[in-house]
């Protein structure tokens, strides 16, 4: 698991590094006291989890998280803060967890173990879907446009991006996506990508 720390307090960096160092399979690949270099780093590097403070100079953690979501970065955000009153705004930007300081090793461990458990379950599901995809055929073939949309989904593009690409409405693209999910017998974009690869549909 690749993580970054974004906090303007040097002491918090030291505390998190010490605690994370005691947890297996966690690698700290970035440490920032300002959101500007952090944002640039996250755009260019694969990061699984970002630990973010709320109160920071120039930009608070909530606004920073909102920018990340607007950029479609799929990173688990864990707020570690002394402020108790930002929990609701934090979950509005799809925070994975909200931890009020002082941070304890046990509390941090529970959060990361939950992530590891979910990842293991997702990997198991991916294997099962791949196995199913290679042994079954589609209940109905995809249209040319659906196949084009599927290939862009597999590249990580959002409905909005795909709509712009084909000069169509987001509603039209959403209908295509729903049809694709139905024909592939999947529930989300990750499963659709796995099945598409398993069936050799990405050309």
pLDDT at 136 over 70: no
* DSSP sequence for the chain: -EEEEE-S-HHHHHHHHHHHTTSTT-EEEEEESSHHHHHHHHHHS--SEEEE-SS-SSS-HHHHHHHHHHTT---EEEEEES-STTHHHHHHTT-SEEEESSP-HHHHHHHHHHHHHHHHHHHHHHHHHHHHHHH---SSPPPHHHHHHHHHHHTT--HHHHHHHHT--HHHHHHHHHHHHHHHT-SSHHHHHHHHHHTT---
Q: Which residues contact 28 (CB under 8 A, 6 or more apart)?
A: 3, 4, 5, 17, 20
Q: Is the domain of 12 the same as that of 81?
A: yes
Q: Is the domain of 145 the same as that of 88?
A: no
Distance in angstroms (rounded) separating the CA atoms of residues 91 and 18: 27
127 located within any domain: no
120 located within any domain: no
Model pLDDT, residue 12: 93
85 located within any domain: yes
| Number of domains into which the chain is organized | 2
> Which domain does 60 fall in, by range?
2-110
Q: Are 1 and 48 a contacting pair, CB within 8 Å?
A: yes
pLDDT tens-digit profile of 48-92? 999 999 988 888 999 999 999 888 788 999 999 988 888 888 888
CATH code (residue 17): 3.40.50.2300
pLDDT tens-digit profile of 10-61? 999 999 999 999 999 999 999 999 999 999 999 999 999 999 999 888 889 9
Q: Is the domain of 25 the same as that of 96?
A: yes
CATH code (residue 192): 1.10.10.10
pLDDT at 195 over 90: no
């Amino acid at each position: 698991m690749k993580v970054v720390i974004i906090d303007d307090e040097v002491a918090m960096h030291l505390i998190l590094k010490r605690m994370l160092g005691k947890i297996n399979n966690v690698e700290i690949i970035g440490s920032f006291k300002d959101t500007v270099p952090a944002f640039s780093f996250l755009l260019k590097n694969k990061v699984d989890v970002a630990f973010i403070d709320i109160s920071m100079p120039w930009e608070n953690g909530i606004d920073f998280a909102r920018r990340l979501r607007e950029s479609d970065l799929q990173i688990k955000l864990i707020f570690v803060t002394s402020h108790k009153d930002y929990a609701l705004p934090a979950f509005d930007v799809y925070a994975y967890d909200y931890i009020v300081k002082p941070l304890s090793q046990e509390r941090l461990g529970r959060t990361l173990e939950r992530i590891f458990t979910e990842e293991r379950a997702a990997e198991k599901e991916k294997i099962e879907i791949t196995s199913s995809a290679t042994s079954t055929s589609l209940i109905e073939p995809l249209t040319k446009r659906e196949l084009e949309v599927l290939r862009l989904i597999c590249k990580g593009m959002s409905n909005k991006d795909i709509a712009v690409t084909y000069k169509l409405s987001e509603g039209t693209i959403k209908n295509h996506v729903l049809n694709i999910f139905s024909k592939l017998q999947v529930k989300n974009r990750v499963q659709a990508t796995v099945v598409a690869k398993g069936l050799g549909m990405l050309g």
